[in-house]
């Protein structure tokens, strides 16, 4: 294979720096438990009978927690880049999430995201929000590994509600 050819393997391409190019992290498959934890977090933060606006607010609140936990580790710019990449990848399945050139800073992106989610049906907003957070988490996993991702973001995701959680010992 010539030096100028790009390897077709995403995993290898993401790990192999190329002259003049910065490798872009590729999503790593998430576990069903992780997907469920992210979905559960959104629904719990949105309240008992969430509407699209509550989902939008829960998404932003969750995002702010994620950013606060990651900024000291990968920097604010690193968080912003992963968020933008996640939003771009998620817009493949949810074209109404696509960002425009004038929405490149985080504050503008978040305001736009909240408005776009709030104007959707609840089920669509929930699915898009979950997909965005799962995509972000998968990209982060591809960058820093599953173990560190789980340690950093595990406290953000809501724990499962089980019988033990409801038993108060009375």
Model confidence over 95-124: pLDDT tens digits?
A: 999 877 665 677 888 888 999 999 999 999
As given in the structure block, the two tokens for residue 138 are: 């998968």
Q: What is the pLDDT at residue 40? A: 87
Q: How does pLDDT run across 4-57, given as a tens digit for each residue?
A: 433 333 333 333 334 444 444 444 445 788 888 888 888 888 887 789 999 999
Q: Which two tokens stand for residue 29?
A: 């498959």
Is there a domain that residue 57 lies in?
yes
Structural domain includes residue 168? no
Total number of domains constituting the chain:
1
Do the domain assignments include residue 85? yes
The domain of 137 spans: 30-158
Domain assignment present for 146? yes
Q: Is the pLDDT of residue 85 over 60?
A: yes
Q: What is the mean pLDDT of residues 73-85?
A: 92
Instruction: State the average pLDDT over residues 125-153.
Output: 93
Does residue 16 sit within a domain?
Answer: no
Whether 97 maps to a domain, the answer reads yes
Give a yes or no: residue 128 inside a domain.
Answer: yes
Cβ neighbours of residue 24 under 8 Å, at least 6 residues apart? 14, 85
In-domain check, residue 5: no
Q: Is the pLDDT of residue 157 over 50?
A: yes
Percent of the chain beyond pLDDT 70? 72
């Amino acid at each position: 294979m010539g030096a100028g050819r790009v390897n077709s393997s995403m995993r290898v391409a993401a790990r192999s720096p190329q002259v003049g190019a910065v490798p872009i992290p590729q999503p790593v498959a998430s576990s069903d438990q992780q997907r469920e934890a992210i979905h559960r977090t959104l629904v719990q933060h949105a309240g008992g009978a969430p509407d699209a606006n509550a989902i939008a607010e829960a998404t932003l609140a969750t995002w702010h927690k994620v950013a606060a936990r990651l900024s000291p580790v990968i920097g604010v710019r690193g968080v912003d880049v992963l968020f933008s990449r996640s939003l771009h990848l998620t817009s493949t399945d949810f074209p109404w999430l696509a960002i425009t050139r004038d929405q490149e800073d985080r504050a503008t992106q978040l305001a736009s995201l909240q408005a776009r989610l709030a104007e959707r049906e609840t089920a669509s907003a929930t699915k898009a929000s979950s997909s965005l957070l799962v995509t972000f988490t998968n990209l982060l996993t591809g960058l820093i590994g599953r173990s560190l991702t789980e340690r950093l973001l595990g406290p953000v995701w809501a724990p499962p509600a089980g019988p033990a959680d409801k038993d108060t010992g009375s």
